[in-house]
Amino acid sequence: MRHIRGLRQGTNAAMDWQGQNLCDRVAMVIIYAFAAVGFVIGFITQQLSHSIYSILAGTAIACLACLPDWPIYNRNPLPFQPVPDNGKQQTRTKQGRK
């Protein structure tokens, strides 16, 4: 668990909206391209396994390209408002009232 915590501390893990859109497009292009190539290879060789391996390879590459929070996906960070410090802690009940 210490190793995982160390990896988490080294990443931002806050992909912005444009980064999410770019990540989605990159993943879809990679997977669709590998699926098309896999279909052609599987059709030529008459082996369904070649198509499946191609799609699995594309999925693995898409995961490597999209799952880590790469800096390319954090180009437009949203500025958050500062937390107001009024000295009181607000508590809410189950209905959402103070």
Q: Does a structural domain hold residue 39?
A: yes
Q: Does a structural domain hold residue 48?
A: yes
Say what percent of the chain tops pLDDT 90: 53
Question: What is the Cα gyration radius of the chain?
Answer: 22
Structural domain for 57, as ranges: 23-70
Q: Does a structural domain hold residue 29?
A: yes
Other CB atoms within 10 A of residue 65 CB: 16
Average pLDDT over residues 8-37: 87
What's the domain count of the chain? 1
Mean pLDDT (the chain) is 84
pLDDT at 10 over 70: no
Task: Tell whether pTM > 0.85.
Answer: no
Q: Does a structural domain hold residue 32?
A: yes
Q: Does a structural domain hold residue 53?
A: yes
Report which residue type is found at 39: F
Q: Does a structural domain hold residue 8?
A: no
